[in-house]
Structure 1
Amino acid sequence: MRDPEFWQHDGIIPKLLSPLSAAWRAGACFRKLTTTPRHPGCPVFCVGNFTVGGAGKTPTAVALYELLTNLGRTPHFVSRGYGGSLEGPHRVDANTDTAAKVGDEPLLLAQHGPAWISRNRALGAEMARDAGADAIILDDGLQNPTLIKDCSFAVIDSSYGIGNGRVMPAGPMRETLISGLEKVRAIILIGDQTPEFITHLPASVPVLRAAVEPTNAAEFDRARVLAFAGIGRPSKFYDSLRQTGAQIVETRDFADHYPFTSEELTTLRADATRLGAKLVTTQKDLMRLPISERDGISSLDIRLVFDAPDQLARIVTSVLADG
């Protein structure tokens, strides 16, 4: 499923859907009013976003993990485990767990540090604390009311921004921009563009600019590739791949978090062979493939690099100092 085209522009369809947006906001408000949030007793850093779809939360969570580790902390990731069957709390084992059980993003996070999945985020954070965590990185929990956060970041894809600014289903927003801004310590803007809403932000909300950089770019320089992806915005992946010098001879788009079948992978391999191309996908997509099906399929590995990393470090250090 792709984002509707009208999510990018205001018009008659978003206006007709606005009553449903009001119902969405009312449901979120009711959940907040009927939920008693808990705190695990150690700092909670939330990496979320205002819109549905991919924005770069996973590499941001990894960058935050590396910073906290360098500051002498023992952070654990906590995620809902979207796309997985387990409710948790469950500590992810990158060697034995599958995306069908825990979701693709937690599997990817578990390659960097301790990761937990839990539909009940507060309970998951408490389990992580009991297992030795002295800081929690909450992946995609900005709108979740069950866990008290000490510091929240909103990750924004600079090429997408906030779409038409309307709440679902009239637009891509999970909540109004006003309510979202009240929750965050800073916005992390990924990419070199500047969405219009950024120019109107209050001075109290700093903008931290960052870029996604491939870590294995040399592997694809001047290579013919057949690229496929089942993520929210595949074009971002293709653009990153082109920047390595790869020659993309064909692309295949799949739905976000798509569960690839053996037959589909066989077809992709055959098409890549016919085109004389390397078969390449994203790190998240690779996590959804059974280990036995990964032979012959490469992934473009990425990391997040901040324009001014000291900005993030100052915010994190301040939160840790406050206890």
Structure 2
Amino acid sequence: MKPSESVYQHELEIQRRAEVICQNPPEQFEELLKEYLGLTQHYTKLLKNTIKLTSVGDGAQRKLVRARNDLLKAKRRLEDASFTDALTGVRNRRFLLDFIDNEVKSVLNNDSELGDHNLLFLMIDIDHFKQVNDTYGHPVGDTVLVQFSNLVSAACRKSDTLVRWGGEEFLVVCRDSDQAYPAKLAERLRSQVEQNEFDIGEGRVLKCSCSIGFAGFPFYPPFPGYFGWSQIIDMADQALYIAKKSGRNAWVGVQPGKQVHHGATPPTDYHLKRLYGDKWVQFQTSLGDDARLVF
């Protein structure tokens, strides 16, 4: 076999391995990725040696260029697969961890006078989802999750990012939203999920509802770096469970309280019940201004 042919055959094997990785479940990703990277390293060495040892004609050179381009495409497919939830096709936590630091830096590096340059974290959970799995089985539960993620994705802006957080819980990351957008998006999602009929096959439909919690970054504008993005997500998650405990099929948003406007330094504790008691946070909710929220 000619050196250039050896390179091309090796590249085909790399593409095949990449497809195998993309088709396997996430728990096997790390092991398969190590094998793939070893294969690509060997390919790179082989390609360099071939170029050194061979007087490459136009045809062989085009084949090598094509092989190199195909390898890059396979690598991009693999990277995209590693950032994608296998069931729903939306982004996963790995993707969030990859991009969130740059988003936070972008927010902190912009002066607040430039406008609504911020991040919104909105947590969504399907109510009583365990009953769906227990009653109809996990395949039906998976069907509901796919349809639910499609519905949420369609309701968001193109600039928003939907992440499957785990199980039946999803996270929406919104960039540059005005003050009215969080409540509008939360109510749109709540209403559309409530009205939707989930097709579970054999002529059957299922009605579901969802609970939502949200919080923005930076949380305290006078202290933009006071709480990190992971703490804000935790706040949104706490708000989600306040919505659940307070009746479900509802949303609860967390906002800075009156103490912030008095110029005092916020506490480091971000447990919402304590922050609310000390007037460091206030809530906006679909349950109404007079609703009794349960922590």
TM-score normalised by length of structure 1: 0.19
Pick the structure with more helix per residue: 2
Larger Rg: 2
**Bigger relative CO (Cα 8 Å, ≥ 6 apart):** 1
TM-score normalised by length of structure 2: 0.21
Pick the structure with more strand per residue: 1
